[in-house]
Amino acid sequence: MNFFLPNTKVPFRRLNQKALLLLFAHGLLFAVALFLAFFTRNEFELAWDWLTVYAVSVGGAVVLKSIIFYTLGHCHASWQRVSFGDLTALIWAATLSLLVLAAVNGTFLSTNRIPGMSRVRSSVLLLDWAATILLLGGIRTLYRSLREELRPLFSRQTARSAIIIGANQTGELIARNLMSTSMNRYYIVGFLDDDPELHGSRFAGLAVLGSIATAAQEVARCNVDDVLVQSGVLAGKKFRQLFDECTAAGATVKVIPAIDELIGKKSDANSIGLRAVEIKDLLRREPIQLDDAAIAVLVEGRTVMVTGAGGSIGSEICRQVLQFLPRKLLLVERGENALFLIEQELANDQSRPPFESFLADISDEHRMEQILSVHRPDIIFHAAAHKHVPLMEFNPAEAIKNNCFGTRLLAQMADRCNVREFVMISTDKAVNPTSVMGCSKLITERYVHAFAEESKTKFIVVRFGNVLASNGSVVPIFQEQIRRGGPVTITDPAIERYFMTIPEAAQLVLQSAAMGSGGEIFVLDMGESVKIVDLAHDLIALSGLAEEDIEIVFTGLRPGEKLYEELYFDEERRVATVHPKVFCAMHQSHNLPEIEKLFEQLKQVIDQPPEIVRARLRDLIPEYGLEKKSQRMAPVVKRMTPKSSF
């Protein structure tokens, strides 16, 4: 904040009609302020002696003060958004005017250098300073207050009425912006907040009507058009309930961006960025509190490599890592389009640390040896993997080549190049796997865990479930099906999955890396599992459609697919760590020579037909393909009877 300047980007500009009018108004107020100063100093009595002095001095005082206030930008400042900073700038301008007037008064008038003008008492100048601040500050504040109070009375017929969830700094900012816009887009009815001490009070000039639970009643009582929810205020369950109740009451629920996104925005609902509710809002959990200091110690000033850098998780890890100022970021990706997109995104930020992009396959020994030996990364986040379950069922050899042999090769190179830490991204599909993809990740988990005992490099595994809106995930598929008018296809009415957002997963991967000492398998807290059919209903509702508008068809479980995912093996112990969202899966150690023998056996069938590869995996991995009762396929039904998901 600049304490010397009011709320205007360019303090000294050409005179336009508005500035000329404000300059004239300032001049009148300066004359009134000086009159009040003389009047107060002479004990509120009119007398010719001081009136004469006032008459001959007021012109010069008004001219000097007008020049100072105009130069400092007060004739271009917005009165409708007057703030504490503007009032502070007003005090500085008045003080500067006082000093200039005092200098003129003491230097010229006391020695009669200007004929016909008399010296003004210092007490009058001080009273003039106070009167100037009170008059200009009071009138500006009164103008803003009256404008905000009276404007809604004239805009109710054309503006949309809204309630804001959350009486806090963001709520105040959004309310003032929406009510002050010249487009009259919104009339703010008031706030809802769960702090009982605020109920019945006024916040930012608006009433706090009650708790968030009363939103639907207030929508009906006040005929509210929109309910504006601040991003991050409500957890998923409460947001879901609010969305359901307010939508049923006839209101549209919209999301207000976070406070840092609002700073500097114009007072227009579109520029502010009110957005429609998204599925991540309904599934949102409590915000993650990261140990930034520990992550900074891990990353800052070091060379960090991310494999699979163009994927959903890999690209987000790149974004998160750059916030902790690495010496250099190395992006490794074999898909040229994916690498191009993340490279272009990162290049747009001129302030970020340097990065280099490498089009490379982790299974290419010569290429990876070249990258690691030249650039010597300190940390490797290994996110590269084949992840699509049905696709890998028909291409099992590719899953084994990339996920198993590619990871082993990269781990061995990390050991040879003295990499400090190697973090492998795993999946809940590795637990009691029923798919080739899950089985391949189980093998890599065990290899990395066993290799950690033989290497100076810290090897860590981070296991978690699905992420929302990742490449090829169910959410974008459902959204596209809904956009086309349906049907939405779901494999089974009972199928459930764990979900977290991509940024949340990447943040916890960094947190796990900062906590690890080597050999751990960290498991992220995924919260409660979500029924996919409920997710489909949510997406239909968020699209503004009724359940009967979109058909839901059940197709049966696909090859390798499970009804329920698991995060832990039965023999694993779930141990808490210093972070409440990260746990450690404690289990028996794995023998590296035995796992190396397993790799040799896999190599013998890698070029065989898919059915032979799958059969050999079942022979070699006892956990693979042993379905629990809960994982048996449900019968296929053609269409689901609509029911509410909220």
pLDDT tens-place string over residues 168-212: 877 887 887 777 654 456 788 889 998 888 888 887 778 889 999
What are the structural domains of the chain? 17-149 (no CATH), 158-277 (3.40.50.720), 292-472+499-526+570-624 (3.40.50.720)
Contact indicator for 180, 148 with CB cutoff of 8 Å: yes
* pLDDT at 22 exceeding the cut of 60: yes
* Dist. CA 531–CA 498, nearest whole Å: 9
Residues sharing a CB contact under 8 Å with residue 176, sequence separation 6 or more, in sequence order = 81, 148, 204, 267
Residues 6+ apart with CB under 8 A from 291: 511, 514, 578, 579
Q: Higher pLDDT residue, 332 or 47?
A: 332
Amino acid found at 570: D
| CA atoms of 206 and 97, how far apart (whole Å) | 37
The residues with which 425 forms a beta bridge, in sequence order, are: 462
Q: In the structure, what pLDDT confidence band is assigned to residue 640 with cuts at 50, 70 and 90?
A: very low
Residue 262 one-letter amino acid: L
Question: In 280-420, which ranges are E strands?
Answer: 303-307, 328-333, 355-359, 379-382
DSSP string, 471-529: TT-HHHHHHHHHHTT-PEEES-TT-EE-EE-HHHHHHHHHHHHHH--SS-EEEE---S-
Cβ partners under 8 Å of residue 277, min gap 6: 229, 239, 243, 253, 254, 255, 542
Rounded to an integer, what is the distance from CA 233 to the centroid of its chain? 12
Say which residue the tokens 């803003």 belong to. 144
**Best CA proximity match to 528, nearest among 278, 231, 245, 282:** 282
In contact, 558 and 539? CB cutoff 8 Å? no
Pick from 417, 419, 518: nearest CA to 461: 518
- Cα 278 to its chain centre, rounded Å, is 13
Q: Please check the confidence at residue 646 and state whether its pLDDT lies above 50.
A: no
Mean pLDDT within 12-33: 75
Contact 174, 180 (CB under 8 A): no
- Mean pLDDT across the chain, nearest whole number? 83
C-alpha–C-alpha distance, residues 618 and 627, integer Å: 12
**C-beta of residue 406 within 8 angstroms of C-beta of residue 412:** no
Report pLDDT for 274.
77
Q: Which amino acid is at 330?
A: L
333, burial (CB in 10 Å: exposed 0-12, middle 13-18, buried 19+)? buried
pLDDT the model gives residue 492? 92
Beta-bridge partner residues of 31:
none
Residue 585 confidence (pLDDT): 93
Q: Is the pLDDT of residue 115 over 80?
A: no
Q: Is the pLDDT of residue 637 over 80?
A: no
Query: Cα(first)–Cα(last) distance of the chain, in Å?
Result: 46
CB of 249 closer than 8 Å to CB of 216: yes
Tell me the pLDDT tens digit for each residue of 269-325: 444 567 888 887 777 666 677 888 999 999 999 999 999 999 999 999 999 999 999
Percent of the chain with pLDDT over 90: 41
Over residues 583-597, the mean pLDDT reads 91
CA separation for the pair 150, 143 (Å, rounded): 10
- In this structure, how many other beta carbons lie within 10 angstroms of the beta carbon of residue 18? 10
Compute the 3-state secondary structure of the chain and give helix, strand, coil in percent, each to the nearest 5: 50, 15, 35
Cα torsion angle, 181, 187, 192, 198, sign = positive
| Helix runs in 108-206, H state only | 122-155, 169-180
Q: What is the per-residue pLDDT for 9? A: 43
Q: What is the C-alpha separation between 192 and 230, in angstroms, rounded?
A: 11
- Work out the average pLDDT over 343-372: 93
Spatial CA neighbour of 624 closest among 351, 434, 412 = 434
Q: Looking at 99-103, 529-533, 590-594, 637-641, which range is the least confident one?
A: 637-641
Residues 410-434: tens digit of each pLDDT = 999 999 999 999 999 999 999 999 9
Question: How confident is residue 565, by pLDDT bands cut at 50, 70 and 90?
Answer: confident
Written as six digits, the tokens of 577 are 């760590």
Q: How far apart are CA 166 and CA 229, in angstroms?
A: 7
Residues 540-557: what's their mean pLDDT?
85
CA distances from 243 to 68, 234, 549 (A): 53, 11, 19
